[in-house]
Amino acid sequence: MQNERVRKSLEAQLKEMQARLDEVEAAALKGDNKLIDAFESRIHEMENELGSEQRRYEDAIKKISEHDRRVRELRCQVDEDKKEAGRARDL
C-alpha cells in the first residue's frame, strides 16, 4: 500500500542519516572539520526533506480520509435515490 511504501522510505532515510552521523563522528575523531561540516550540512538537508515528506504524508492521509467520507456520503445518497425511485414507481 502507499502508506507502507512511504513509511519504508522514511525509515530508509532515517537509517541513511544515522549512517552519515556515524561517519561524522568517526571523522571528528580524525579532526577532519571540513568533512564534518559537509556531513552536518547534508544531515540538516535530509532532516528538512524528511520533515517535508512527513508533512506530505500527513496531508495525503488527511485527503484520503476526506475522500473516503465523501464516498460514503455519495453512496448513502445513491441508495436513498434508489429507494425514492422505487417508491415513485410503486405509486
Q: Are 10 and 54 in contact (CB under 8 A)?
A: yes
pLDDT at position 73 is 97
For cell 561517519, the residue is 23
pLDDT confidence tier of residue 81, bands split at 50, 70 and 90:
very high
Contacts of 24 (CB under 8 A, 6+ apart): 35, 36, 39, 40, 43
pLDDT tens digit sequence for 40-71: 999 999 999 999 999 999 999 999 999 999 99
pLDDT at position 24 is 83
pLDDT tens digit sequence for 11-37: 898 898 899 889 888 877 777 677 778
Q: In this structure, how many other beta carbons lie within 10 angstroms of the beta carbon of residue 50?
A: 15
